[in-house]
Structure 1
Amino acid sequence: MASVDLSSRPILAQDIRFERDVVATRQRARQIAALLGFDAQDQTRIATAVSEIARNAFGYAGGGRAEFTLEDAGTTFAVRIRDRGPGIDGLDDILDGRYRSETGMGKGIIGAKRLMDDFRVDTSPSRGTTVTLGKRLPAAVAPGRLGDIAARLAAQALEDPIDELRQQNRELMQALEALNQRQRELAELNRELEDTNRGVVALYAELDEKAYTLQRANEVKSRFLSNMTHEFRTPLNSILSLARLLLDRVDGELNPEQEKQIGFIRKAAENLSELVNDLLDLAKVEAGKIPVHPVEFRVSDLFGTIRGMLKPLLAANLSVNLVFESTDHLPPLYTDEGKVAQILRNLISNALKYTERGEVRVGAELASGGMMLFHVTDTGIGIAAADQERIFEEYTQVDSEIQRRVRGTGLGLPLSRRLAQLLGGNISVKSDVGVGSTFYATVAVHYAGPAEVSYVPELTRHLDPTRLPVLVVEDNREVLFLYEKYVKNSGFQIIPARSTREARAVLQEIRPVAIVLDVLLEGESTWGLLTELKENASTRGIPTYVVTIVENAKKALALGADGFHVKPLQREWLIEKLSQAQRARHRTVLIVDDDEISRYLVRGALAPARITLLEAAGGQEGLRLARERHPQAIVLDLGMPDLDGFEVLAALKADSEVRDIPVIVYTAQALSHDDRRRLSAAATVIPKEGLSREETQKRLNAALSKAGLHIDEAASSGEVTA
């Protein structure tokens, strides 16, 4: 709270001795606010706040005095209301919203505090009470204007109290009309959002269908790559062996034309063999796992081996020199020598193919971070900037005159980059068209990774409020990854648990829309967990599906499972079951708050969801509705006239029928350490003040998501029970 400068310039003073003086103080506050340039809404706020404090001074202290001043170098309009009363007991409780008074004194002070920018209270039984209210001015007021303001105030007569009452009624009607207008705008906005949501849902459905088609195509491609490449190798090896026998004249001499034709056959078979090898390597990577065999070797020995392997390419182009720089000074590497050789072989082969004259230079050096940097520099045709990232895409080849003569597979560079990443590094390129290119490949000097690298990422347990949580109890990472792919763009989110202990911990935090169980986990089975889920009242209603390699549907269904499927799981079956679970859920949220405006704000935050909303204006009514309707979540205020939120929360947690309902505390009350201890059973605590509307909605959505309630859906059902 900003402090108010003690140096002030007085404008007017008003004694408060009779009830009509309270009305006069309100009138003077509005008149001065108008002369100082405040707009109509701020005039009403100031007049209302001053009126509340003046009424307290008259009602509790028998009278007082209001002083209107300019402070902070003419930038703040301040009103001090002094009285000689007995002071205010429990001021801290009043300001924090914990005080309950039959006369309503606490509400008046809190209301005035919310309407003003600055609010200070100095009170004691001996000195009485001084309340200072401040409102920052739209523009600073020059000292010379005070005389003009005082003269205009003297010319303005005070209105009759009845006229002031009429003015208050007009202000109230204007406020209600503004609220109604805002409600109409919100309703129109909600209708527009409904139309947009329907369009988005339709688009998601179309995208989901296309994604499913692409996924099936990718699965077919992967199976084809992993199966057929092995089948291709046998006839290819036969063709190459037979061509070699013929060219070696084992069965007699060949005439020049026959030798030429067999040479063409052998060349075509070699090109096809290269394609098959690259496809098989890519298939291994796409399958999710690829082995790594680290050994210790020297870069100089590796370069010598590669030089010998590439001699045939050098013989075909005598105008290009292949230069290997000295690497005797480099330390030995501990990594997969075969994969490093494959990376360099691809890079050097490409350089030799696309360099008509000049040289291809190969070197290596130590780089920072324990990396070895290899570089292959050529004086070839170069690569345009727009194509320098495209060349690392599968089957992509840059069109050029040389490219048309020596077409490759379009798989070498993508495979090389994946292998470099597998070994802890990467591949990049710098190139200028017509000048040449330099490819940089980095690998870790000491490979410290696993013997088999998985490309399946870990699934996160971070809740996405826009997706429905599905608990999957499965210890195989590849299967979990498959589940995540199956539910992509379907509105569901996989929450993984790799043991029954993890599953129980997840169920303590969230309520999933469904549970998928694998029976055989590492070192345990989930039959006991299934029995526990169906015997527990809080989880009995969650649809549970057993998906396992063990054919035991009868046992699963007898223990209460809602469905059974033998692995491998079909995506259509999973999405159908999850959609059924979503449709079958009874989705209700109970709002317990005595403040109608707060209930309105919560309704607005939940408006986009297909959720039945129940409302209770007090704690007793909230407990009754909770026991009768069993909502999926409760939004609870703390400060209520009959039962406060602490008592309601304690009563809910003591009742076995409703103790598992998540409770979201939504309060304007400042919480002490003891208060937070008493609220430890709540799912979360969200403050009413200090947060933006967007942040409040985000927190509320996240809390409801833990309860298994999806927020980003069609409009609310609109049922409201008061």
Structure 2
Amino acid sequence: MTLRILNLRIEREIDVVASRQRARQIAALCGFNAQDQARIATAVSELARNVYSYAGSGRVEFAVEGVTAPQLLVIRIEDKGPGIAHLDVVLAGRYQSRTGMGMGIIGARRLMDQFDIQTATDGGAGTGTGTGTVVTLKKLLPYEAPLMTAASVGEMSAQFAVLSPDVSVSEVQQQNRELLATLAELKTRQDELMQLTRELEDTNRGVVALYAELDEKADHLRRADEMKTRFLSNMTHEFRTPLSSIRALTRLLLERVDGELSPEQEKQVRFILKGAESLTELVDDLLDLAKIEAGKIDVRAAPFEVNDMFSALRGMLRPLLVSTTVDLIFDEPEGPVTMMTDEAKLSQILRNFISNALKFTETGHVRVSATLLPKGDAVRFDVEDTGLGIAPEHQQLIFEEFSQVENRLQHRVKGTGLGLPLCSKLAALLGGSVTLKSTPGVGSTFSAVIPVLHDDMPEPQIFQPDMAEGGGTPVLVVEDDRSTQLLYRSYLRKTSYRVIAVRSVWEAEQAWTVEQPAAVILDLYLNGGDSWHWLAKIKDDERRKGVPVIIASEVADRQKAFSLGADAYLGKPVGRDELLAQLNALCHQVRPS
């Protein structure tokens, strides 16, 4: 669904300034922050100035696409001028205009999530018969932005400020304010960095001595726990293989790959699958604990926004709210908070806290918040509930492995007693800690304090293709569920395709550097990755946009997926014939790189 916001004619030079002002107003009303408002306004004004300078007149159209968050702000700038000659040279950044600049188009392209330009010239004949130029800009609205509807768009139109005769002066003043604010922010960050550097230098010698003492104690603890860790690691590996086989076989049976099932057989197979999934969850927790204790688990630190992680958590945890009346509330931090740590492990900690809170809260709410600590070197994540609460004598017990506190809800909620101990160890692995405040009958607050910057950055792992898959046309499968990956492997076995399976956007980028896929099968909501922005990224990349992307997801938002460049959309569970038909149709369209 497309909601049109505003059409603006460009006929005079003042209209260029007006387009910038309108772009900023619309971006603000759509929920963009101040930086994104400036980016959008700058991109629109650059392209509007091109229309006025080279075509004489044109128009700017603002619209919103999509029915679910995040929606798309779509801006279309078009003219009926002579078109753009040598467009490839312009997009490559090698063109210089008569004004000496020539950077407006590529500058606007860098400021937006997606950029498309269509132009037709008169072939250099100077006849003015070109059909003009159409530039389409797209930017995803923030996840926390309110959903735009026809009614809200109508209200938005009433909030546009009337353009005054001194609009040029006011717009220059606004740009000056934005520049001053940016310079002040840069100065503040520089001062904070210098202060942090001085503190690190002052404490470095003490830290070296402390590490030596900790190494000695850690060596003693490793020897004491060696047998237990080895047992857990070996046993969980032995359990994982048959469990994976059971889950894969039940998936194949439920997909009717080898024939139909009777209703009773399907019911029994689903019981088997549910039991195998529960055991797999227990085995995964045990293996994670064993790996942490053995020091064999890797921290994959990468930059991410806390707001983006909250949005992903909100989507992943939505199914847990179906059978409860408890409200799950996310309080976004004030201003953007960027962290450089392992987002997947931090997300695992918060998911465990939230799922526990939902289990033991009958009425009220579960509130999730993030607060940047005063020094700016760590973020405290709080999960506060209005549930049963935990008595003081039991608050330490729940962080011990296989320990659970008896309560009146225990009969209907199951658990292994490994979730909270694992959270504690994961937080420690990230350089942080976990705490608990609770009052029986009032509620509990679980907190995790995690450093903003992880101090043990691992070397990037080089993706190694699975040679056991044999030859064939490579298909990149971006799917975080192991059983679904196995299902795709089964579907494409004995076909002309070969599966390259990864579990995150980060791994997909690594795999792409090793081998160019002929097609991509992408799940929209991954554990610890934003598929929407990655889809927009690859479709805006000149080297990769020709690779067809098939969306395979339980989320029904076809229009937004196609608007961002998806070539096909399949709802889960995906059928074998349907998937092969799409691959056969799309892979024949791929242009050689």
Structure whose CA Rg is larger: 1
Which is bigger in relative contact order (C-alpha 8 A, separation at least 6)?
2
Q: Same fold (TM over 0.5)?
A: no
TM (normalized to structure 1)? 0.31
